[in-house]
A = this chain, B = another copy of it.
Amino acid sequence: MKQYSQMSAAELSALKQELEEAFLKHKEKGKKLNMTRGVPSDEQLSICNGILTCLSADDYKALNGTDCRNYGGIDGIPELKKIFADLLDLTPDEVIVGGNSSLALMFDNVAVNMTHGVRDGKPWQTQGQIKFLCPSPGYDRHFTICDYFHIDMIPVAIGNDGPDMDEIEKLVSSDPMIKGIWCVPKFSNPTGIVYCDKTVKRFANLKPAANDFRIYWDNAYAFHDLGNTNITIPNIIRLCEEAGNPNMVYQFASFSKVSFAGASVSCIASSKSNCEYIRKRLTVQTIGPDKLNQLRHARFFKDAAGVMAHMEKHADILRPKFKLVSDTLQSELGSLGIAEWTRPSGGYFVSFDSLDGCAKRIAALCTQAGVSLTPAGATFPKGNDPKDRNIRIAPTCPPLDELKEAMEIFCAAVKLASAERFLSEKQGNQSN
C-alpha cells in the first residue's frame, strides 16, 4: 500500500471516504471495550486465588512471633520484608512494607516532604515554587501528584535508554528549586523501555544544586518481564551509596500486578537513614499496615523465587496479548508511514505515536466506536502532549477476542485520522 504522505489530494479524499465507511461499520457494532488503564485480567487475578484461602483459622503469626491480627509492627513483617529485599537485592532494613497501594506511599512521601522536608531538610512548601522533572511520556498518576501539590513539572524527553541524562544533569545541577524526578526505570510507563546501565549510573551520580533533591524510582514493573528474559537494571540504592548520595533515592515496588491489583502489598526502599525517618512519621500516621495481608502474601509466594515463578505465569497470559497488539499494528499500519510504536519486553503498555496532531482525534474516534483509551495527552504533565501524538495502549485486561476487536477499531481510527490530517494539509496548501 502506498504511504499516505505520497498520496495526491484526490487519492486521500477517496481513501478518507473509504475509511469513514469502514469506521461506520465498527461504530454500528456498538462495542464497549475498555483499554484505559493497566489493569490485570480476570485470568491473571485467578492464578492468585490461593491468596484468598491460604490462611487458616490458626495461622496468623509472623516468623518473629508477631500476632498479625493485633496492633504492632510499623514497617512490615520480617518474611515479607525479606521477600522484597531479595527481589530488589537489598537488605530488609532498607525496606518498609506498606499497604495495598505504592501510589499511596509515593503520595505520602511527597506530602511529608512538602510539609516537613526530607530528612534534615526544610519543608519543600516553604521554599518557594519547587519543581519536579517529568520524563515524558510518563505515568499520569505521578504527574497528578505533582499537580495536586502545585509542583511545577518540567517535561524531559525519554529515549530507548532512558530519559535525556544530559538535560537532567544540566537542570538538576543548576536549579536548586528542582526537588525531584519521577522514574519508572524498568519497562517504563508507557514506553516500555528499560533504563540502560549507564543511565542508572548517571542518575546515582547526579550533583543536585538542591541538597534535598530526591529521585522517585518507581520500580513498578521490576518483575514483570514478558518472556524469560529476566532483564535486570543496576541497583540504584547501592550506586547512590557508592556515589556519596546515599539518601538521594526512594525506590517503590508493589505486588499490585503480581497478586491482586486492589489488595496486594507495596514497599518503599531507601537508605537506612531515610527508612528510619519514614518509620518515625509512620508511628504518628498509622497503627501500621495490614499484617494479615502481608502474611497471606508471604504464605502464598514463600520466597522471592516463588514470586519470580509466579511472574512466569503472568508472562504466559500476557505474551499473546502483546503479540496481538504488535501484529495488528504491524499488519494494519506497518507500511503506511503514519505511526510508530514500542515493542516492549515487559510491563503493561505499548506506547503509540501517531502523526503529530492526531492523538486526540484518534481517541475521540475510538470513543465513538466504543473503545475507551487512556485520554490522549495523559502521558504528559498537565495532560499536555505538545505534539498531540502519544497514546498509551493497555492490552492486559481485555480477553484476546475483545482485544482483537479493540485493536482493529483503534487501527481504523488511526488510519482515518491520518488521512484526514494529510488531506487537510493538502487542501490547506492548495488554498494558500
Contacts and interface: CB of A to CB of B under 8 A. Distances in A.
A285 B67 contact: no
Interface stretch (A162-170, A290-298, A319-327, A408-416): A290-298
A45 B287 CA distance: 16
A157 interface: no
A100 B80 CA distance: 18
Contact of A292 (B111, B144, B263): B263
A261 B287 contact: yes
B58 A286 contact: no
Interface in A49-82: 49-50, 52-53, 55-60, 67-73
B287 A103 contact: yes
Interface stretch (A36-44, A84-92, A243-251): A36-44
Contact of A69 (B73, B115, B262, B281): B262
A10 interface: no
A149 interface: yes
A101 interface: yes
Interface string A248-265: 000000001000111100
A39 B262 contact: no
Contacts of A45: 67, 69-70
Contact of A57 (B52, B58, B141, B292): B52
A145 interface: yes
A285 B68 CA distance: 26
Given A50-B57, A70-B39, A115 B125 contact: yes
Interface string A137-148: 000010011001
Interface size range on A against B: 35 or more
Contacts of A67: 42, 45
A290 B287 contact: no
Contact of A287 (B56, B101, B288): B101
A284 interface: yes
Given A125-B115, A262-B287, A286-B103, A53 B56 contact: yes
A260 B291 CA distance: 10
A69 to B, nearest CB: 4
B148 A293 contact: no
A352 interface: no
A144 B73 CA distance: 18
A341 interface: no
A381 to B, nearest CB: 14
Contact of A72 (B69, B108, B262, B287): B262
Contacts of A287: 100-101, 103-104, 256, 261-262
A70 B40 contact: yes
Given A70-B40, A71-B261, A292-B262, A148 B281 contact: yes
Nearest to A288: B262
Contact of A111 (B60, B101, B115, B260): B115
Contacts of A135: none
Given A57-B52, A107-B286, A70 B114 contact: no
A377 interface: no
Nearest to A102: B287
A53 B55 contact: yes
A99 interface: yes
Contacts of A58: 49
Nearest to A107: B285
B70 A260 contact: yes
Given A115-B114, A148-B284, A69 B293 contact: no
12 contacts: A50-B57, A53-B55, A69-B260, A100-B287, A100-B288, A101-B287, A103-B286, A103-B287, A108-B285, A256-B287, A261-B287, A262-B291
